[in-house]
Every structure is written in C-alpha cells, then in structure tokens.
Structure 1
C-alpha cells in the first residue's frame, strides 16, 4: 500500500473514498467539523448526528455513497468520540479507520487531517502514526493457509491537508511510518511462523537476507563449535536437549562513522520453549513459538534501518536456540559456566531466556556500545503485573529509561518502569554457584532483570520484558510486532541527537 500526503481541495479531489474525522467541542480550540466542506455536507453530518447514525463514540462511522457536493465516490465519516484525543485514543481511531477502509471495495482513499488534533502533537506525528497503522493492517497471519486469501483492493492512501505548509516534512513522516510498519510486519511474520519452520537456522538465514539488502549491513553467524570456544556454557546448556543447532546471530548497521559507539540490541530467540526438563503444562504450549519475539523485533528494526538510512551505528545480537527435554538436556541442580566466567545454578530449566541472554550480553560488550537494550519474552510474572498493555522496563540508567518512556508514549507502544534494587538481587543467592537462575516466587520480573544486570560491565543498559505485549491469545491470537514501534522511535531520536 502506498501512503503519501498532499495539499488539496476536498470538494474537487477525485477519490474512491474521502474520510472525514469529526472533531468535538472539548478540543481547544473547538474544531467545527468539517472545516473545508460545503454547507450541503455540513447539513448532512448534522442530520446524521441528530438521527443517531453517527454516535459520540470513538470509531463510530457511516459510509455515504455518491455524496452530493463532492467528487469522491464515497464519504466515510468517523466520530472522534466525546473526549479530546490523546495518543492512545488517536491510535484506536486510526486503527478503526484503516480497518474500515481495507474492508471497502476501493482502490484509493483520501483522509483529511484537518479536524484531527492531539494535544502536544503536530501533523507530522499524526501522519507517521497513520502511515504506520495503515501499513500494519496490510499484514495477514494466514500465510500458510491453502485457502484462497482475499487481497484488499486498497492500494493508495493520501493524507489530505488544506495547505502545503510543512508538506515535505509530512510526506517524510509518511515514509517513516511505512518503514516502521514494514519492520513490525516482518517481526509479526516471524513470530507467527511455527517452531518447525522458524528454527534457529531459519532466523539466521533471515538475518543474512536482510544484510544482503544493504551495503552498510554486515552479518555474522556463530555456530555451536565457535560458541564453545568462546565459553558460552550458559547458552549452550539450553540447547543441549534438542537436535536443532543453536546460532548466535550478529548484525551490524553502519549508518555513522564506523568508529562511533553503536547502540546494541540483544533479542531473545528461543524458537520454541517447551520448558525443558521443567516441562510446561500442555495448555497454551503452542504459543511458546512466540518466545523468539525479542529476536524478531531486532530483525524488524534492522528492516527499518535499511529503509531509512538512519545516521547511527547499531549492532543486533540474537542468541537463537530451541529448549527441549531429552537425555542430554540440563537438569534442575546443574551448574554451568557463562562466557563471563560466572557460574550459575539452574534451579528451573524453564528460566532459560536469561541463560542465553547473559552470554549474548557478555558478547555484546565486545562492541563497546554506548547503549545496550535487551528485548525478551522473559517472565510470566510480567504478564501478571502489566497484562498486555505495557512492556516492563528496567534499567541502570535514568536518562535511558526516560528516553524509552518518551518513545513509548510517542509511538503508543508503552513501557512501565520497575525498580532494579539490590534487595531483589539478593534473591539470586546460591549455596553452590555464583548465582541461581531464579529468585523464588516473588518479584519474578525484577529478579530476572537483576540476573541480567550481573553481566553488564558498564554503560547504559535497559531490559524490556515483552512477555505480555509480544503476542495476543484467544480469538485474536497472533504476534503484535511490539516493541518495534518503541525501539524505532527511540533510535530515530538517537540518530537526530548524534
């Protein structure tokens, strides 16, 4: 789908569908919707409101075919609700608009931005979010179905403005939003693939394909023999029970001077997590194919970097494994030695994500990153704490944490910071090793982050636990592509600061 912006007259512009979003009286200043439509349409909207055909609820809509006074073949009217829009309600509205448009038998559409206002946000922000959300709605999770799929007829969406002021900036915002959507959709595609297809080797191949698209991207894959030589005993202990070979994937994007310190993104890549000897219950175990969504988000980000040529250096590190029970699998009570030299008593083989991440973080230190962020579907405790609304954020650096919170609020892909205190770290005490891989029943998300913090040498580091946000269960089961929007927003800001 092509997404762009244009300054045009809504009355005379020919399109299959013109979309108007009605402002409300709580906006400051009040938006008298629609601003740039003649009295015939204004009277029609007034009657539709009075009849109840347009309700004062966000996303309420009606389609008018062959509207008088317009060159558009259809007029699609949306309510913005009773309250002024904020970032979250705007995203909800834009999602409703996209869903409705994709369901119509149209090839192109024109969306007026004139009567949409979000406190503290400019039209460039609206354009970026609209483009991202509409781009995300191009994704279908049924890629492996043999039935004939209905392909949306919508090919082009134009965001309409009454003036050409800042038009080039808004067009650029559309390109950026579309690029982020492309990264989100790649992440969703990889997440939704079953574990028998999306293996560690498959992820490695996908990384190599990305690197081949851009001369400024390099890819290196470490095999198990090389990881053994490096002393990655913690990571390799997780993969001991499976026939699928582990892979350590390293992607490098050089958008700035090669001597500049990179941002390091470390994504957990457990392509299927049975729990190992500490076997999970059968109910919902199919969703453990999503335990590689941290890895998928790193690949999604690299897709965006390739598209946008951001001026910064980024290294992406993905420890990719499968966690299965077997005769050679690690057992509760086993002790392994990490790449850092620290020993770990494994009390639960289902706390495997931190065992692969700790060696990946140690390896990432080699690149001397200015910022390190790991992304992982790490703890069920995170789901119990935050549900599916926000990812958990834990960090050793207040400025980095604040930047991620701002990026989350801007993108709608929000985070909530949890403490990283020494009192929690004490829960990892082991009588037999330097640490245990779990800290007991309480504060599981925090103690998991405390474990990872032991492998950060210095510098700014943040941990994102996306166990509640990376996918949805139930009737809407599927990968969300989060936190690609958050990370993209963060990296865009970092690039502008350098």
Structure 2
C-alpha cells in the first residue's frame, strides 16, 4: 500500500501567483508551452534563453529544475518535456508527470503543482492520467516489512485555467480510478499465504459492505460441486485451501433488470503448476496468477465509487493449484459445468479450466457482453512482450470498443485471431476437448480457442494479461494494476450508450 500519504487538489490560480514548493510546467522541443510563455514574460526571458541554448531540451520525459526562479513564489520551477509539439500525446503527459513526481519524491516538498494542461487536448483523459501516474510513482507496498520507510505527506495540485464541470468530472474519475488500481496492485502484491481463496472472497465481501449498490455472494466448495463446476473442483482438489466462487453484482442502472456486462477474473491465488510442476526459478511470481481477479475487483471498486448508471457483474473462480496426492493428473478427464468433458494434458493449463466454468455460469445473466481477464499464458509474452495485453474476441464490435478504450487510456491491447483452423489442435481422442493445444505453437491462441468453446451464447472478449499484470525487474517489481484503466473507460462508455 501507499506509505507516502498523497492527496490531490484542483486549482485555477493564475500561474504567476502560484505559491507552491514545486511548480511543474511543460515545454516542447520547438517552443515553450503557453503556461511557460506566461512565466517567461515575468522571468525576463530566462526560459526561452534556456530553450534556445539547449539546456532545456523539451524532449519527452526530460526535466530541468530551477531553484528559486526569478519573480515566482514557487521554491522550484521544474520544466518537463513533452517532445515535439505535433507528436505530443497522453503518453507524453504520463512520462512528464512520472519524471517530475519521482524527482519531487526525493525532496522535502509537501506541495507540488502541475500546470501542464494548456495544450493537452481533452482534459477528460489528461487529468485522470496525471492522477494515475502520480499514484504509480508514489506507490510502495511494504505491508510485510518490519521497518517501514517514513515518508512525509505530499499534496499534488492540478492547475487549470477554469474549473468547469468537465474538469470536476475528470478529477472525480481520476480519484476513483486511482482507488481501483491501488486495490488491484495491493491484491497482486500480497503473498499467497496471506491471500488465499477465502481471503480474496473476504475482499469482495468487504467491498459489498462498503458500497450500497454492490452485492456479494460466495459459493463454497460444496456449492461449487452442486453447480456442477467440475473444472474448478479439479484444479482446486490438490490444495488444502478450499475453492470459492465469488459473485459480485453492481446494480446502478435505472432498470435493475437491464442486461449487465459481466467481468470474469482468473483467481488462482498461487499456481505451482500442479503435477506439471513449474520450474523453481521465478515461481514466487505465481502469486500474481490472481491478477485477473484483482483487476476485476479494482474495476468494481472504481465503478461503485463513480456510481455509474449500469449493471455489472464480477465472477471470480478463486483456487490454489498445488501438487499433492489428491491433485489432478495429466490424462485425467473432468466434466465442466457446460457438460463438456475435458482431458487434462497439462495441469499447469489450469486457468482456462476455472474460467470455462465461470463463463458457463455467466450465461444465466443473459449479458450484454462478457470480458474475462486472466494471466493465462506465457505464450502471450513470447508473442507480444510486456507492452500490450493480448485481446481475443468472438465479436468484433466488442473488440473494437475495447481497442478504443485502450487507445484512449494508453492501456494498450493487440488483437490476435481465434480462427477455426486453430480449434482442431484441441481435439482429444478421450474427451470432448483437450486443455492444451498440440504443440507449443500459438499457445495463447489455442488457450483462447479453448475458452471460446464456452462463450457461444454471448459477445465475449478475453484479455490475456500475463505479460502486463506485473513487472519482474528489480526495484520496480510488482503488480501494475492493468487493465483497470481500460476496463473502467469501457464501462463508462457503455453506461452512456
């Protein structure tokens, strides 16, 4: 969790009169921004001179701090680069804010003001992106450290020319988005011995207690069996931790019977691989195999914060995948909730098993659309690396809507096919379907093909976040909270449709 107390405020003061510890203003490679030009006029042309000399470059993410700037009240003026004027984007905003925030964290400053919105286009996206980026830069998870870093409180001000209804709405949206992302990151980073399927269920239940429009129901092991969810039972049977099936319903539409959007999140709180045991190196990161569930819960919190006029259902199968004498074995055949039988060729392909029962359960809602989110395959990392999330869909209109939200929020996705030609790789001589394809080629596609067999009654999309749900590198290791931003934007747009 965030150990550095951070708060946010809106302001509309004239930039020349801003009384703040750190004032952050942007510039471009070719010229000063309008705000920077206003400051330059009372700083005797110093900023333009620095830009002309090349000391201020304006390159994307560059930073140039000026201590006690002439004729300004701010203790520091920090110039951040947006790159070339005609190429500036929401990514430019994010990079500039990240650079400035990381610099400000190292100072004793308690009040930081960003005045970078004069040429940022739609504030609808720029203001939430500023809040989101500050949140990422100030986030630290040290719940399990005996000695916690002591940090001073910092207030981040977002300065605009006029505080309009649009600005207020964007600011409120940004705060709700931050809460959802923080929850997703906290859950992802929590060790598996402190976040069992039961613990994950408690998180959902606590959300329902906090928000009036959220309703939670938990199916325990016995109820899961009564539902005929044989695939979930099979995955969980090797662990001493019992499975749970989490149902979290948000009812915000005026018509309570209106078709909901269903979000399905993979909740494997630890994935050893089962009998098909994973290599030991990096296995600690398999606590992140519930990041799909974390993302869905974070999105539901943001939706409830905003009180959106739409119905949304979250379905989360929560299990551990462990090796033991009772674990499923390669070659076993199990019966899913749909009635389809599945040959288990690899017990480490467990995510698709628990998801297939959840996707079948979703049918009863007669949903407007279903989106499942899962750290499903290592193959998606081979295909796309760690930049975009993999997108698969049986409905192109839904896929296009998700792509639109990904572009608007800079939470990138890339669509891959689920053509019929891939389906034959899942053929089994002993069951209706095998849980992995024949060979490693196209592994993320055949996994999506498997899920598609259980989504024939509604519009469905699958987000494979195995490459984007967490970072593995050094000091930046940890959950990213992706794709809460994308999902929230999509839900908001659907609430207005």
TM-score > 0.5 by shorter chain: yes
TM-superposed deviation, 1:266: 0.3
TM-superposed deviation, 1:190: 0.5
Report the counterpart of residue 469 of structure 1 in structure 2.
Answer: 468
Whole-angstrom CA distance in 2 between matches of 1:221 and 1:123: 40
Whole-angstrom CA distance in 2 between matches of 1:32 and 1:453: 51
Which runs of structure 2 are paired with 1:364-379 in the superposition (5 Å)? 364-379=362-377
Contact 1:63-1:75 at 8 Å conserved across structures? yes
Report the counterpart of residue 97 of structure 1 in structure 2.
Answer: 100
Report the counterpart of residue 124 of structure 1 in structure 2.
Answer: 124
TM-superposed deviation, 1:91: 2.0
TM-superposed deviation, 1:62: 2.4
Report the counterpart of residue 30 of structure 2 in structure 1.
Answer: 25
Report the counterpart of residue 112 of structure 2 in structure 1.
Answer: 109
1:336 aligned onto 2:341: no
TM-superposed deviation, 1:104: 2.4
Report the counterpart of residue 413 of structure 2 in structure 1.
Answer: 415
Report the counterpart of residue 271 of structure 1 in structure 2.
Answer: 269
TM-superposed deviation, 1:51: 5.2
Report the counterpart of residue 249 of structure 1 in structure 2.
Answer: 246
Whole-angstrom CA distance in 2 between matches of 1:305 and 1:40: 44
Out of 74, 77, 80, the residue aligned to residue 75 of structure 1 is 77
TM-superposed deviation, 1:481: 0.5
Report the counterpart of residue 139 of structure 2 in structure 1.
Answer: 139
TM-superposed deviation, 1:149: 1.2
Deviation digits for residues 401-420 of structure 1 (CA, Å, limit 9, x no counterpart): 00100101111111000011
Report the counterpart of residue 64 of structure 2 in structure 1.
Answer: 62
Helix, strand or coil at the partner of 2:193: coil
Change (3 A) 1:426 1:68: same
Report the counterpart of residue 436 of structure 2 in structure 1.
Answer: 438
Whole-angstrom CA distance in 1 between matches of 2:136 and 2:90: 17
Deviation digits for residues 334-393 of structure 1 (CA, Å, limit 9, x no counterpart): 000001100000000000000100001111111111110000000010010111100000
Out of 174, 178, 184, the residue aligned to residue 177 of structure 1 is 174
Change (3 A) 1:276 1:283: same
Which runs of structure 2 are paired with 1:420-431 in the superposition (5 Å)? 420-431=418-429
Helix, strand or coil at the partner of 1:93: helix
Report the counterpart of residue 3 of structure 2 in structure 1.
Answer: none
Out of 394, 398, 401, the residue aligned to residue 396 of structure 1 is 394
Contact 1:268-1:356 at 8 Å conserved across structures? yes
Whole-angstrom CA distance in 2 between matches of 1:453 and 1:222: 24
Helix, strand or coil at the partner of 2:43: helix
Out of 233, 237, 240, the residue aligned to residue 234 of structure 2 is 237
Change (3 A) 1:152 1:495: farther
Out of 14, 17, 40, the residue aligned to residue 12 of structure 1 is 17
Change (3 A) 1:360 1:81: same
Report the counterpart of residue 87 of structure 1 in structure 2.
Answer: 90
Whole-angstrom CA distance in 2 between matches of 1:132 and 1:247: 31
Contact 1:4-1:171 at 8 Å conserved across structures? no
Report the counterpart of residue 37 of structure 2 in structure 1.
Answer: 35
Deviation digits for residues 5-38 of structure 1 (CA, Å, limit 9, x no counterpart): 3322111221222111113438xxx846613225
Helix, strand or coil at the partner of 1:11: helix
Structure 2 gap segments, 5+ residues each: 1-5
Deviation digits for residues 418-462 of structure 1 (CA, Å, limit 9, x no counterpart): 011110111100001000000121111111111111111412100
Whole-angstrom CA distance in 2 between matches of 1:280 and 1:177: 39
Whole-angstrom CA distance in 1 between matches of 2:43 and 2:316: 55
Report the counterpart of residue 189 of structure 1 in structure 2.
Answer: 186
Out of 343, 346, 352, the residue aligned to residue 344 of structure 2 is 346
Report the counterpart of residue 259 of structure 1 in structure 2.
Answer: 257
Contact 2:29-2:57 at 8 Å conserved across structures? no
Report the counterpart of residue 320 of structure 2 in structure 1.
Answer: 322
Report the counterpart of residue 355 of structure 2 in structure 1.
Answer: 357
Q: Scaled by the length of structure 1, what TM-score is found?
A: 0.94
Report the counterpart of residue 50 of structure 2 in structure 1.
Answer: 48
Whole-angstrom CA distance in 1 between matches of 2:191 and 2:491: 30
Contact 1:374-1:464 at 8 Å conserved across structures? yes
User: Comparing 55-64 with 234-243, which one deviates more in the overlay?
Assistant: 55-64
Contact 1:102-1:152 at 8 Å conserved across structures? no
Helix, strand or coil at the partner of 2:39: coil
TM-superposed deviation, 1:272: 0.5
User: Comparing 343-352 with 177-186, which one deviates more in the overlay?
Assistant: 177-186
Whole-angstrom CA distance in 2 between matches of 1:241 and 1:57: 54
Whole-angstrom CA distance in 2 between matches of 1:160 and 1:143: 33
Deviation digits for residues 103-158 of structure 1 (CA, Å, limit 9, x no counterpart): 321222221135443xxx4123211211222233342122211113132431x222
RMSD (Å), alpha carbons = 1.7
Whole-angstrom CA distance in 2 between matches of 1:161 and 1:298: 32
